[in-house]
Structure 1
Amino acid sequence: MPKITYITFDETQYDVEAKEGATVMETAIKNGVPGIEAECGGACSCATCHVYVDEAWAEKTGEPGAMEEDMLDFAQDADERSRLSCQIKVTDELDGLVVRIPESQA
């Protein structure tokens, strides 16, 4: 199973095993990672699952699609590392992925 590391704004680290095919958001919710609210349930319509993808993983997670880009406009403190975790599908290639949760979602 791929492992994902979630790091909160206060540097608390959550290392969790993810099921291939799930999303980074679903994995966070299932494992009780704080700061990932996912109010829309993963429909890419709320930006409450905003994360910063660690620079080393940007290429493997890919670029946000048009709909995700539009929703990121609503995410507080979004920058070039920003993604909606509901839009990142877990694959074996993402084993070791590191994402940071913004302080605004604490």
Structure 2
Amino acid sequence: MPKMVFIEKNGNRKEVDAPLGLSVLEIAHRNGIDLEGACEGSLACSTCHVIVDKAWYDKLAEASEDEEDMLDLAFGLTHTSRLGCQIKITPELDGLTVKLPAATRNMMVDK
């Protein structure tokens, strides 16, 4: 089974099973990771914002225009920010690493 790594807000790394076809948001919820997802993955909020490790960012499917619009509302936005509800695990994403952002409102940072 594929694995993925969450880097929590406190810096702790948590490696978890990442079943194929599930979203990063669903995997977080299954493993007690503090990733809100207020709209439950319906692409109506930005509370499942994650920062994708640079090594993995280009391996993801391109963000839709709707996802880009929601990301504009995210806290701690970076150049590798994505919504966890929009990242589906594929065999190519085995080992994916994402960081949970600190809460800093709409500030683009270069990480």
Q: What TM bracket, shorter-length normalisation?
A: over 0.9
Cα distance in 2 for residues equivalent to 1:77 and 1:44: 18
Structure with more contact order per residue of length (Cα contacts < 8 Å, sep ≥ 6): 1
Matched length: 104
Residues 24-46 of structure 1, C-alpha deviations (whole Å, 9 max, x = no match): 11000111112x10010001111
Spell out the pairing of 1:1-106 with structure 2 (5 A cutoff): 1-34=1-34, 36-104=35-103
Gaps of 5+ in 1: none
Cα distance in 2 for residues equivalent to 1:4 and 1:104: 23
Q: What code does the residue aligned with 1:13 have?
A: R
Residues 36-67 of structure 1, C-alpha deviations (whole Å, 9 max, x = no match): 10010001111000000000001111331100
Whether the aligned pair in 2 keeps the contact of 1:8 and 1:103 (CA below 8 Å) is: no
Q: Using structure 1 for the length normalisation, give the TM-score.
A: 0.93
Cα distance in 2 for residues equivalent to 1:22 and 1:9: 22
Whether the aligned pair in 1 keeps the contact of 2:3 and 2:16 (CA below 8 Å) is: yes
Report the 3-state secondary structure (helix = DSSP H, G, I; strand = E; otherwise coil) of the residue aligned with 2:85: helix
- Normalized per residue, the structure richer in helix is 1
Percent identical among aligned pairs is 46
Q: Using structure 2 for the length normalisation, give the TM-score.
A: 0.89
Gaps of 5+ in 2: 105-111
